């Protein structure tokens, strides 16, 4: 069920930013591990997004743009399995008219499976769910919706602390009342499911006292 929030957008963003800062602080505080590899890492990425579902009243290319970003903290329980908490942002805006669009602010929790294929190359599979705040351009309020994610992240080890990656993620907004252009879907206020894809590039920074991260522990140099 989707619920409206009457909080001003800047207050919501302040709460989200505070939560991320608190998360990063906790990560740094507890980042020292007793194992022979680091388990914590920070991920930063940005790139392209593309509407896929709920596009019957728009031209998808008008809302496909480089306006997607994400920052997250990942913890690996072992060399293969981990969890990631992330904040992401998508700004869908008509390229011809900025008055039409919708912004998404989302927090997701995902499970992660690491497939290290070589000393310096691996693929992370990730899937999870979270909460998204959608801000349609046609109203001054936000609506909340559950969001589901599924993606793959090929990555290359640059150094003991840094890896670079590309990521492809499919995101499903479970129930929303507005199109990607910010207009109401139905006068009867019936909701529909929306979906979009993110294609990003980014970097992972390993935290901890050890010389390698869990992602590369199976076949470390």
- Structural domains of the chain in order of their starting residue, each with its CATH number: 3-216 (2.40.160.20)
**What pTM, to 2 d.p., does this model score?**
0.83
Q: In the prediction, which pLDDT does 76 show?
A: 96
3-state secondary structure of 117: coil
Angle (CA) 134-135-138 rounded to 5° is: 130
Identify whether the C-beta of residue 43 lies closer than 8 Å to the C-beta of residue 85: no
**pLDDT one digit per residue (tens) for the chain, 221 residues:** 333 344 444 455 556 556 655 655 555 555 444 578 999 999 999 999 999 999 988 999 999 999 999 999 999 999 999 999 999 999 999 998 988 999 999 999 999 999 999 999 999 999 999 999 999 988 888 899 999 999 999 999 999 999 999 999 999 999 999 999 999 998 888 899 999 999 999 999 999 999 899 999 976 55
Q: In the prediction, which pLDDT does 35 show?
A: 75
Six-digit token pair at 135? Answer: 């801000």
Cα–Cα distance for residue pair 102/64, rounded to 1 Å: 12
Q: In the prediction, which pLDDT does 13 show?
A: 53
Q: In the prediction, which pLDDT does 50 show?
A: 97
Q: How far apart are the first and last CA of the chain?
A: 50
Cα–Cα distance for residue pair 214/74, rounded to 1 Å: 11
Q: In the prediction, which pLDDT does 207 show?
A: 94
Q: In the prediction, which pLDDT does 32 show?
A: 47
Q: In the prediction, which pLDDT does 18 show?
A: 63
């Amino acid at each position: 069920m989707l619920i409206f929030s009457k909080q001003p957008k800047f207050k919501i963003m302040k709460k989200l930013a505070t939560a991320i800062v608190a998360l990063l602080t906790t990560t740094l505080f507890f980042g020292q591990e007793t194992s022979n590899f680091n388990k914590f890492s920070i991920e930063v990425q940005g790139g392209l997004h593309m509407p896929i579902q709920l596009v019957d009243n728009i031209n998808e290319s008008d809302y496909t743009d480089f306006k997607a970003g994400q920052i997250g903290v990942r913890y690996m329980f072992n060399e293969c399995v981990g969890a990631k908490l992330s904040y992401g942002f998508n700004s869908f805006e008509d390229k011809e008219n900025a008055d039409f669009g919708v912004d998404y602010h989302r927090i997701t929790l995902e499970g992660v499976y690491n497939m290290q294929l070589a000393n310096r190359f691996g693929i992370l599979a990730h899937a999870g769910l979270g909460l998204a705040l959608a801000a349609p351009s046609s109203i001054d309020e936000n609506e909340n919706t559950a969001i589901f994610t599924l993606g793959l992240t090929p990555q290359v080890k640059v150094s003991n602390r840094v890896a670079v990656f590309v990521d492809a993620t499919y995101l499903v907004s479970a129930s929303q009342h507005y199109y990607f252009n910010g207009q109401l879907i139905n006068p009867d206020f019936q909701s529909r499911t929306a979906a979009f894809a993110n294609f990003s590039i980014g970097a992972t920074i390993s935290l901890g006292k050890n010389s390698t991260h869990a992602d590369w522990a199976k076949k470390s140099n």
